[in-house]
Amino acid sequence: MARLALGPANRRPAVRTAAGLPVLVVGDPIEWTAVVGIPLAASPGEAEVQVGTAGEAHRIAYAIAPKRYAEQRLTVAPKTVDLSAADQARYERERDHQAGVMATFSDPVPAELAMAVPVPGRRSSSFGLRRVFNGQARNPHSGMDIAAATGTPVRAPVPGTVIDTGDYFFNGGTVWLDHGGGLLSMYCHLSRIDAKVGDRLATGDAFCAVGATGRVTGPHLHWGVMLNRTMVDPALFIEA
């Protein structure tokens, strides 16, 4: 994640990634700041955002530093690594559906970025780990795992609106929240979902419960945070 100073302006500047995705801009007319999610797969080197609309846009460059994440080897049910044709088709449907959820970009933008931890517990593995399931390399870990017993209530870390609920092949029972400005959060492997699409949550509202559904080795909450359709490290948002 990068925070880019945009300077003063009467109105909130429109900022897009090089790929054209809208970027969260926080602040006030004295000083605006773009908060950009950087994909784990991004190449180190120079990157940029576009500020303003076509014709009068200018670029702000920033540097992506290399970062090497640790490797994590896990043993899970074989059918969750070598998918059957039916499971592969199910996964692809769910991936396409959730791509639509991830494109959510709503007003207003969040009043603040500091978040509370959604469940108390040990953070059992961290963002960015390169994961090897049953000896096969898979996507890196794109969220924070918090160990907690099945049934532990999960609480909204900031105000948000429920934009998706489902039972997905890898993620199990899942809820997505929209916090505005492309800042989304997801909660996975749930045993219970107590909210429905459209529900508005205040900070601290319980809306689902920890479980062990989907591809897991035991009960925990997988918590993901997304900016400009890019999963970023939830630890960056946790209140000091």
Note the residues at the interface with Zn ion (CB under 5 A): 145, 222
Q: Which is nearer to Zn ion, 49 or 231 (CB)?
A: 231
Q: Which is nearer to Zn ion, 105 or 133 (CB)?
A: 133
Q: How far is the CB of 222 from Zn ion (least distance, A)?
A: 3
> Whose CB is nearest to Zn ion?
222
CA distance 221 to 81: 20
Q: Which long-range contacts (CB under 8 A, 24 or more apart) does 98-104 make?
A: 98/164, 98/168, 98/176, 101/163, 101/164, 101/176, 101/184, 102/184, 102/226, 102/229, 103/229, 104/163, 104/178, 104/182, 104/184
Q: Taking the chain, what is the end-to-end CA distance rounded to the nearest angstrom?
A: 18
Q: How far is the CB of 171 from Zn ion (least distance, A)?
A: 9
Residue 140 or 159 with smaller CB distance to Zn ion: 140
Work out how close the CB of 18 gets to Zn ion at its nearest, in angstroms, rounded to a whole number: 28
CA distance 92 to 115: 31
For Zn ion, which is the closer residue by CB, 41 or 240?
Answer: 41
Nearest-approach distance from CB 216 to Zn ion, in angstroms = 8
